[in-house]
Chain A
Amino acid sequence: MKSRKIGLHQFMAVPAFALYAVFFIYPLLKGIGLCFTDWDGIKAAHFVGLRNFIDFFHDQRALSDIRTTVLFTLGSAPLLNIVGLVYALLMNSEFRGKSIARMCIYMPAIISPLIMGYIWYFLLQPGRGFLYHFFDGLGHPEWFGNWMGNYKSALLVIVLVNVWQYAGMTMVIYLAGLQGISRDLYEAARIDGARWVDGFLHVTLPLLGPSIRINVITNIIGSLSVFDIVMSLTGGGPGYQTETLSIYIMRMCYGSKTGYSVAVAIILFLIVLIPVAASSWLMRKKEED
């Protein structure tokens, strides 16, 4: 090897990092400082110590937002992965119309969650929505209830709509992973007398490791910071019951409690960090074994 001069190419990561530092890292660090103040977005900020955090844990609405956000994630992240994996397994072989089916399943993911929310709101409207008339036509209008007016069912609807919309995205990543697994491995397993379940547990799952990691982590992050779909489906209602932390942050920021909303953002970050770090550590350990 000839000795290389220090070339400009060594610094090619600088522009990306500069953009990132200005618009992400600097505000993030700044936010850590702001969360201890009573800043309202305009006037000078005063240091108030841990006041914002204490207020947060005394606010019933905030605590209910945490519960909603966590419940939503517990429903949405596992379901997205299971449904996405099942779709991918169904689609992982050659058949006619495969790319069309894949397209159909991915399609909901490209549409604005806001528009999706409105479409589903129309379907689910009590007394006059599409599903009401559908059940009415079947002669069983009582099968349809006011699903959006009740906390439990509204949350369930939000979870299911979210899964319906983004399962295609998880599917595509699992499909990419499945296509990297050599057919010979299944062939070998079959010759050794393994059933489908054995092949799935001992060949497919371990080799899907990287795809599972990407999907689980992005789904946890996405679910814990869910915003649009809740905004358009329920707007946080009934009352503030289905409001999530992201929506709370935005509303507090508009309500000129900027310092407080930064504190809530930091709490959300900690809530995201724990499961992400735990699952990433667990999965890495599993892969090393």
Chain B
Amino acid sequence: MTFRIMNEGKGMDIEMKKILCGLRYLIIIMISLLCLAPFGILLILALNTPRRNFYEGNMFVPDFYFQNFPDGWKQSQIGHAMLNSGLITAGAILLIVILGAMAGYAVARCKNKFNQTVYLIFLCCMMVPGIINTVPLYGLMIRLHAVNTLWGMTCVCATLAIPQAVFVFTGFIRALPMELEEAAVIDGCSQMQVFWKIILPLLKPSVSAVVILNGFGIWNNYAQAAFFLQDRAKHNVPQALSIYFQQFAGARWNIMAATAVIAIVPVVIVFLLFQKNLMRGLTDGALKG
């Protein structure tokens, strides 16, 4: 019923339209609340005193006990894990964007056999879930001495995201007009310079799409981290949290919740900074092709 307003159907009087419009607002607000509710509950939990049972008194009013945050921070060493996750994410994103954009440019603008084959391989490999090559990769990583190193994990995460990035960048570059590049070549730019000086700056919207689609996944990576980051000093955020939480077996929710809140904050901040560009990045060519 509610969707019908989109069409502004014939013979629907204004009264009816208003009701439907209001109804749609109501539904959207309810969906948004449903999506945010668990965060609210996490925050309430994080602000309770250790002694308080969750269901005592009014469960929607916490004790505002802020000591949980420094306690959780110290005991879980989450700060160190966040630094690791941050370095891995930054390194992997840099690799994905630069290598992906270079490959996208070559595929979109130089249609030789090698580039076309590479593109086809990437397209096919997009269908292979990462977990499948993780076990044989483990053997390779041992020989490269890359297990329990940040650079090893960075390369693994970048590799898993590369096909999709090449796909997005290729689509985006194909949609760009050729005239700009031709003019630059006439002015004496080499093709390499054209890429670095003209194409790369134009890629901004698709870069933020690639960052949002992959960045959070890399920060939150658990499936590969479980294999390649077993050393306590090299734990990333999910690894550190999972080890830290296991020792409580669900007994101290206040401190667990506070630690989880600390781990979520940087992600939310980055998301709020990038989210404006996300839609533009997706609509401007990223999904064409």
Interface residues of A (CB under 8 A from B): 7-13, 15-17, 19-20, 22-28, 30-31, 34, 39, 41, 87, 89-93, 95, 99-116, 118-123, 125, 128, 130, 133, 136, 164, 168, 172-173, 175-177, 179-180, 186, 190, 193, 195-196, 199-200, 210-211, 214, 217, 221-222, 224-225, 227-228, 231-232, 246, 249-250, 253, 258, 261-262, 265-266, 268-269, 272-273, 276-277
Contact = CB atoms under 8 A, between A and B. Distances in A.
Contacts of A34: 135-136, 139
A228 B223 contact: yes
Interface string B30-44: 011111101101100
Contacts of B162: 16, 19-20
8 contacts: A16-B100, A87-B31, A106-B271, A115-B241, A115-B264, A210-B287, A225-B129, A273-B127
B103 A119 contact: no
Nearest to B280: A176
Given A23-B156, A119-B260, A122-B45, A114 B99 contact: no
A256 to B, nearest CB: 12
Contacts of B219: 112
B138 A114 contact: no
From DSSP, what is the main secondary structure of chain A's interface residues? Answer: helix
A12 B103 contact: yes
Given A9-B105, A16-B100, A19-B158, A107 B28 contact: no
B110 A89 contact: no
Nearest to A172: B282
B133 A31 contact: yes
Contact of B227 (A10, A120, A250): A250
A137 to B, nearest CB: 8
Interface of B: 2-4, 6-10, 24-25, 27-29, 31-36, 38-39, 41-42, 45, 53-55, 59, 95, 99-100, 102-103, 105-107, 109-110, 112, 114-115, 118-119, 121-122, 125, 127-140, 155-156, 158-160, 162-163, 166, 190-192, 194-195, 216, 219-220, 222-223, 226-227, 237-238, 241-242, 245, 250, 253, 256-257, 260, 263-264, 267-268, 271-272, 275-276, 278-279, 282-283, 286-289
Contacts, number: 295
A93 B6 contact: yes
Contacts of B9: 190, 195-196
A125 B35 contact: no
A103 B275 contact: yes
A19 B159 contact: yes
Find the residue from A23, A87, A118 having the highest chain B CB count within 10 A.
A23
Contact of A225 (B130, B155, B195): B130
Find the residue from A100, A107, A268 having the highest chain B CB count within 10 A.
A107
B59 A133 contact: yes
B44 to A, nearest CB: 9
Contact of B105 (A12, A112, A190, A225): A12
A193 B278 CA distance: 36
A112 B282 contact: no
A225 B59 CA distance: 37
B139 A30 contact: yes
B103 A190 contact: no
Contacts of B103: 12-13, 15-17
A111 B283 contact: no
Nearest to B212: A110
Contacts of A115: 238, 241, 260, 263-264
Contacts of A228: 220, 222-223, 238
Contacts of A265: 131-135
A27 B192 CA distance: 32
A17 B99 CA distance: 9
Given A24-B133, A27-B140, A195-B9, 8 more contacts: A9-B110, A23-B155, A34-B136, A105-B32, A105-B35, A123-B38, A210-B287, A222-B129
A158 to B, nearest CB: 15
B250 A121 contact: yes
Contact of A28 (B39, B45, B106, B133): B133
Contacts of A258: 135, 138-139
Contacts of A110: 216, 267-268, 271
Contacts of A261: 135
A11 B286 CA distance: 23
B275 to A, nearest CB: 6
